[in-house]
Amino acid sequence: MARTKTIPRENLRERVEELSGERVFACYQCGMCSSGCPYAEQMDRLPSQVIRDLQLDDETLLDSNAMWVCASCLACEVRCPKGVDLAKLMEALRQIHLRKALDRVSLDDLSKDEIKKLPQIALVASLRKKSG
Amino acid sequence: MTKLAYFPGCSLKDNAKRFEDAAFFVMETLGAPLEELETWNCCGTVYSLADDDLMHHIASVRNFIRTKEAGSEELVTLCAMCYNTLARVAGRVEAHADELEKINAFMDREEDYEGGIRIRHILQVLRDTIGWEALSETVVRPLDNLKIAAYYGCTLVRPQETGIDDMERPVVMADALAAVGAEPVTFPFEAECCGTYQIVDEPHLALEQSNRILRSARLAGADVVVTACPLCQHNLEQALIAPVGESEEIKSIQVVYFTELLAAALGADEATMSPVVREILSTSVTAEGGA
């Protein structure tokens, strides 16, 4: 008999919950994460909308820029009244792309001068977050 | 006092060398010298947030093994990002024996890590081991009249489990500077993100964030912003060079590592200071015996 995967992966919500260890239905949409997010205005969906879309299993979320704008600053994580770690949900969304080798950042896109100017802490962190 | 096992990380040997040089002087002067690990590797840079990603915790664990080999149970960092990554991994493998077993099994050529290493940021050492009073008593060049904004960023204070201070209103860095005579100002963006690695491929995100932080500090009356992270320092410096929009006011503010000002207060030779610190001393700090 073929080995069956013990964790279902049929939909986006379940994939993200598996990768993050978080439960998206814990969120009751208070909006605290969006109000404190320093990057919310740069996102095409608010942080709280990202969770709502996960609850609704909206796969178009994968095309959003929110996961790439999120810098894991954890302002949302420490303030969520329901203890949802939104930074982990964002990481899971990034990982879904990165594990298909869909890198967001490549050293090839940077000139030698740019690379020289950037401290390695920035380069390594960027590649750790945005390439697989 | 015994020597403290010290983990530098990449930046402290390169663009943040002055952060380290000043810290060595401060800790030597306080009788608690830093002793760099004989060998060390990258901390991992960022803490991996995906639940199944144990692979990226290995870098930190190797450094814990090096610390044990050095005969220490504690590892001190200067870089806030290294602190965060090392401390989160230490806490995670301490709480999850099964994960530690997997990591140990993977590291064929290493002795098993059995847990027990405590990661401390140097600000915790100054506050909890040395104390503000002892720091104060060592001052030879008080930073009188210098208004500083202590900028913490993210990784020293979040998440709560590894945060070194109150995560919304941290005071530890301001207290350190107050102990050497400076006057801390309060400003609301003290723990806002500087833009971090976004400076690589989305520089506008980082520059806007850093610009807001500098403006907020300036509006609160600060002459100098002090940092504890090489990446925060870099982004704030970039924002000073290329101010975004209506931000003329930030051009007069300076950004330095907090250890640089502590070293100045504790009597470091001016020749060892960065030009920025020398300028701060000559323009903002009251001359000895003056005022």
Cβ neighbours of residue B176 under 8 Å, at least 6 residues apart?
A: B123, B126, B127, B132, B135, B258, B262
Cβ–Cβ below 8 Å for B154 and A78: no
Chain B nearest-CA distance from A78, in A, is 6
B203 interfaces chain A, CB cutoff of 8 Å: no
Cβ–Cβ below 8 Å for B159 and A120: no
pLDDT band at B284 (very low <50, low <70, confident <90, very high): confident
Instruction: Pull the structure tokens for residue B26.
Output: 């401060």
Cβ neighbours of residue B46 under 8 Å, at least 6 residues apart?
A: A72, A125, A128, A129, B81, B85, B197
Domain spans, chain B: 4-123, 140-283
pLDDT in tens, A37-66: 999 999 999 999 999 999 999 999 999 999
Chain B nearest-CA distance from A63, in A, is 17
Q: Are A16 and A62 in contact (CB under 8 A)?
A: no
A67 to A47, A62, A77: CA distances (angstroms): 9, 9, 15
Cβ–Cβ below 8 Å for B49 and A87: yes
Mean pLDDT for the stretch of residues B58-69 = 98
Q: What is the pTM of this model?
A: 0.95
Question: Which residues of chain A neighbour B60 with C-beta distances below 8 Å?
Answer: none
pLDDT at res. B286: 61
Question: Which residues of chain A neighbour B16 with C-beta distances below 8 Å?
Answer: 119
Cβ–Cβ below 8 Å for A119 and B11: yes
B158 interfaces chain A, CB cutoff of 8 Å: yes
pLDDT at res. A1: 47
CATH class of domain segment(s) A12-100:
mainly alpha
Cβ neighbours of residue B66 under 8 Å, at least 6 residues apart?
A: B37, B38, B39, B40
DSSP B184: E
Cβ–Cβ below 8 Å for A122 and B200: yes
Which residue in this structure is represented by tokens 């051009």? B251
* pLDDT for residue B172 is more than 50: yes
Question: Which residues of chain A neighbour B168 with C-beta distances below 8 Å?
Answer: 78
pLDDT, mean over chain B: 95
Cβ–Cβ below 8 Å for B50 and A120: no
Distance CA B131, CA B157 (A): 20
Cβ–Cβ below 8 Å for B79 and A121: yes
The enclosing H or E element of A81 equals none
* pLDDT for residue B74 is more than 50: yes
**Beta strand extents in B194-284 (DSSP E only):** 224-227, 254-257
Domain spans, chain A: 12-100, 105-132
Distance CA B247, CA B215 (A): 7
The enclosing H or E element of A22 equals none
Cβ–Cβ below 8 Å for A121 and B9: yes
Work out the end-to-end distance of chain A between its first and last CA atoms, rounded to an integer number of angstroms: 33
Distance CA B232, CA A122 (A): 10
CB atoms within 10 A of CB B54: 19
B17 interfaces chain A, CB cutoff of 8 Å: no
B230 interfaces chain A, CB cutoff of 8 Å: yes
pLDDT at res. A4: 47
Radius of gyration of chain A (CA): 16
Facing residue for A120 by CB, picked from B11, B46, B50: B11
pLDDT in tens, A81-132: 999 999 999 999 999 999 998 999 999 999 999 999 999 999 999 999 999 8
pLDDT in tens, B101-135: 999 999 988 999 999 999 999 999 999 999 999 99
Chain A nearest-CA distance from B216, in A, is 14
For residue B73, count CB atoms less than 10 angstroms from its CB and return exposed for 0-12, middle for 13-18, buried for 19 or more.
exposed
CATH topology of domain B4-123: Glutathione S-transferase Yfyf (Class Pi); Chain A, domain 2 (1.20.1050)
Distance CA B42, CA B234 (A): 19
For residue A9, count CB atoms less than 10 angstroms from its CB and return exposed for 0-12, middle for 13-18, buried for 19 or more.
exposed
Q: Give the ipTM.
A: 0.93
DSSP for A42-66, written as a single string: GSSS-HHHHHHHHHTT-GGGGG-SH
- What are the residues of chain A with a beta carbon less than 8 Å away from any beta carbon of chain B? 18-21, 38-39, 42, 68-69, 71-75, 77-78, 85, 87-88, 91-92, 95, 104-105, 109-110, 118-126, 128-130
Which residue in this structure is represented by tokens 């000895």? B288
Question: Which residue, among A22, A104, A121, A126, would best test binding to B if mutated, counting the most B CBs under 10 Å from its CB?
Answer: A121
B71: alpha, beta or left? (left if phi > 0; alpha if psi -120 to 50): left
Using DSSP, how many helices (H) and how many strands (E) does chain A show?
A: 8, 0
Instruction: Pull the structure tokens for residue A73.
Output: 């600053």
B58 interfaces chain A, CB cutoff of 8 Å: no
pLDDT at res. B262: 98
Q: Are B185 and B178 in contact (CB under 8 A)?
A: no
Distance CA B177, CA B263 (A): 11
Q: What is the CATH number of domain B140-283?
A: 3.40.50.11810
